[in-house]
Structure 1
């Protein structure tokens, strides 16, 4: 294992440890302070903001990190990539703000939410973690993300007292993210050489068009991930959104570990794609095997320990989240495998369009299934629909990989690992 990859993995694990430890401190406080209905409102506000921020992000985290990995030793190309992507995100701030107001008016119905969420959009615009990922500088991201999260955690404990503090808690979440983004931008800018030519509007619009498939992948996947508690709340009330949101946060906290592994592995895969295709195949197989084994163990642990996890993290009022968490434990291996097939295998191999199509089909299947099963079985039905959607996605991505790149699995002619 190379030094940069080992460093990225270590930094990613530190970040994800904060994803687990800090929520273990704040989620119980928020859940008990807001009760199930109030916590449901908080979850919906965070989910809606996260999704609207994706309009500003535009899938550039995937594509720009890949470009940086390919051209890390070409100063002019590195500088151009950095500033074109910054300009693109600021160009998208206007449409994102308009969507934010629309979401607020029809779903959240609290314009304090919009006022605070604008800061989240700005934080997304200046977040250049994609540059540091492409340069395999994960430790730079880790230190700055940790600082922002620690500030948020301390303020939550110092200021949040009851149901009237929902907007305050949301504001603190947004502020912590903005601090992290600002620090990451400052660190990234120091690593970018001077720009020798001006950025034109034509290059910005071309960037938006070129990254449409990356945006589709991110938008569909994120909408699918964050809409489940919203749908649960829509079909059975805010209390169900809180119950589902609590279980979902525990499951996705575990998934965050594998997201950090993906962030470390993908730039290395992109680099080897040009340097040594056969070495890339070997590296992909080894990393995939390790991730799947660990994800399976994690799934079993969450399923068995669900009663204890819910009791000590969420509290007694969330006892109905236990069965939801047992179902959602299946997300861990399924999401990990789908991320391996899509982001770590097919995207670096040039099949981004096919991944985008599979992700859209999965989103459509989930939306239909979650509404139908949610109306019949409530939040439990939404959880079942989530698992079925991931299984459907797995079948689509696996068939695409076998059809276009069988050499990755050793089932066809191609590169030899």
Structure 2
């Protein structure tokens, strides 16, 4: 299979997966927002934000470092087994640490302990996500497997929600159904890796564990930084303003992230492809096309934001429309910022610049968020997101221009 054909095949698979990730939640969101009530839905959104921290910790940036390692060593079965085994063991250890942290939070933070059972049930997602090992499929460019698996999670959750969830007392069941989907798919993914892809699990040496840990550390800080100025917003809103505010903010934020995530398939496919092909010409074509399509999506959502919020979430969520407009302004430069990240700077060896862009931005974001706590409001947090994403974009654009990565003669310098 040619490189371009493989790129198209994997992009198609990831696009289908992302469309399902985008469409199926829109089937369940209106139902959950109404059935669980604003406060119940806010608790669910808050719990998702809390668990997202632990998923980032357990992933430890291996979706980037592991993907690159697997891509480079794709024809070395022994090396692949070493990479997979080392990463899986590290992720398991991090999962145990994360569980202990969650238990401590439940014991000492009142706003978390109130719905402790929901958070513990949701933590099953972390275990399922750990077993999923997406980095293997991305590195080998076998995205059809991960597409089917992710689609299975979404379809399972969507169907069971309508069958079993009837009122706001079913909130723990919503968490359980969501978590079971991830657990089952994680187990299936593990079987595919071991039996079909034929990567063996071996007891990793201490040296391999240390090497994989060190290799992914910079990516981990990057992922934590991103989480601090994305997921932390809903978490902080829920912590200081209550479940209802978390529902208002989280609803707009979910739509915003869903719109931006439409370009994630291109991001995931381009990263390993550019890393080994260095095809800047194709990258520039896809970048321009994505920028134009992004502007169209942003304009449509911005104009019809009030209608979108009313149709999806119903009454009580009107304030979310204002937040969605703010987020859509951020989306104008967030999409090109994402594509300038790992698919370009990272793939061409400038990972430090990519990581620093989000680390510096997250530090500024968190400092401002803490300063603003006495006057905190959902609109203020949304404006802060807009500002932070702009900082990331400017930082990355500066280094793309500085290194001349989009110049036609860039590859001649290599």
- Equivalence map 1:126-205=2 (5 Å): 126-193=131-198, 195=200, 198-205=203-210
What is the match of residue 383 of structure 2? 384
Are residues 111 and 234 of structure 1, via their aligned partners in 2, closer, same or farther at CA, if it must alter by over 3 Å? closer
What is the match of residue 245 of structure 2? 240
After the TM superposition, which of the residue ranges 240-249 and 110-119 deviates more from structure 2? Answer: 110-119
Are residues 248 and 333 of structure 1, via their aligned partners in 2, closer, same or farther at CA, if it must alter by over 3 Å? same
SS at match of 2:36: helix
Matched, 1:228 2:225: no
SS at match of 2:141: coil
SS at match of 1:409: coil
Hey, what's the Cα distance between the residues in 2 that align with 1:115 and 1:377?
28
Does the aligned pair in 2 maintain the 1:68–1:134 contact within 8 Å? yes
Post-superposition offset of 1:43: 0.4
1:3 equivalent among 2, 5, 23: 5
- Equivalence map 1:239-258=2 (5 Å): 239-258=244-263
Does the aligned pair in 2 maintain the 1:47–1:227 contact within 8 Å? yes
What is the match of residue 26 of structure 1? 28
Q: Deviations over 1:233-265 (max 9, x none)?
A: 344332221111111111111122111221122
Q: Deviations over 1:297-323 (max 9, x none)?
A: 111111011011101111122111111
After the TM superposition, which of the residue ranges 328-337 and 50-59 deviates more from structure 2? Answer: 328-337
Post-superposition offset of 1:377: 6.3
- Equivalence map 1:263-282=2 (5 Å): 263-272=268-277, 277=278, 280-282=279-281
Post-superposition offset of 1:286: 2.0
Matched, 1:409 2:379: no
Does the aligned pair in 2 maintain the 1:298–1:332 contact within 8 Å? no
What is the match of residue 108 of structure 1? 112
Are residues 324 and 66 of structure 1, via their aligned partners in 2, closer, same or farther at CA, if it must alter by over 3 Å? same
CA-based RMSD of the aligned residues comes to: 2.2
Give the TM-score taking structure 1 as reference length.
0.91
After the TM superposition, which of the residue ranges 346-355 and 150-159 deviates more from structure 2? Answer: 346-355
What is the match of residue 393 of structure 1? 392
Q: Deviations over 1:178-228 (max 9, x none)?
A: 222222222222354465975213321331122101111111112321111
Are residues 103 and 262 of structure 1, via their aligned partners in 2, closer, same or farther at CA, if it must alter by over 3 Å? farther
Aligned residues: 409
Does the aligned pair in 1 maintain the 2:248–2:319 contact within 8 Å? yes
Hey, what's the Cα distance between the residues in 1 that align with 2:381 and 2:329?
14
Hey, what's the Cα distance between the residues in 1 that align with 2:201 and 2:239?
52
Post-superposition offset of 1:335: 2.4
2:221 equivalent among 203, 209, 216: 216
What is the match of residue 327 of structure 2? 328
Are residues 263 and 413 of structure 1, via their aligned partners in 2, closer, same or farther at CA, if it must alter by over 3 Å? closer
SS at match of 1:316: coil
Post-superposition offset of 1:125: 2.0
Hey, what's the Cα distance between the residues in 2 that align with 1:413 and 1:125?
38
Does the aligned pair in 2 maintain the 1:101–1:114 contact within 8 Å? no
Does the aligned pair in 2 maintain the 1:43–1:245 contact within 8 Å? yes
What is the match of residue 129 of structure 2? 124
Does the aligned pair in 2 maintain the 1:76–1:196 contact within 8 Å? no
Hey, what's the Cα distance between the residues in 1 that align with 2:376 and 2:227?
24
Hey, what's the Cα distance between the residues in 2 that align with 1:60 and 1:195?
18
Are residues 310 and 375 of structure 1, via their aligned partners in 2, closer, same or farther at CA, if it must alter by over 3 Å? farther
**Structure 2: gaps of 5 or more residues:** none
Hey, what's the Cα distance between the residues in 1 that align with 2:396 and 2:344?
10
Are residues 77 and 328 of structure 1, via their aligned partners in 2, closer, same or farther at CA, if it must alter by over 3 Å? same
SS at match of 1:317: coil
What is the match of residue 59 of structure 2? 57
After the TM superposition, which of the residue ranges 43-52 and 10-19 deviates more from structure 2? Answer: 10-19
After the TM superposition, which of the residue ranges 86-95 and 46-55 deviates more from structure 2? Answer: 86-95
Are residues 198 and 368 of structure 1, via their aligned partners in 2, closer, same or farther at CA, if it must alter by over 3 Å? closer
**Structure 1: gaps of 5 or more residues:** none
Are residues 22 and 87 of structure 1, via their aligned partners in 2, closer, same or farther at CA, if it must alter by over 3 Å? same
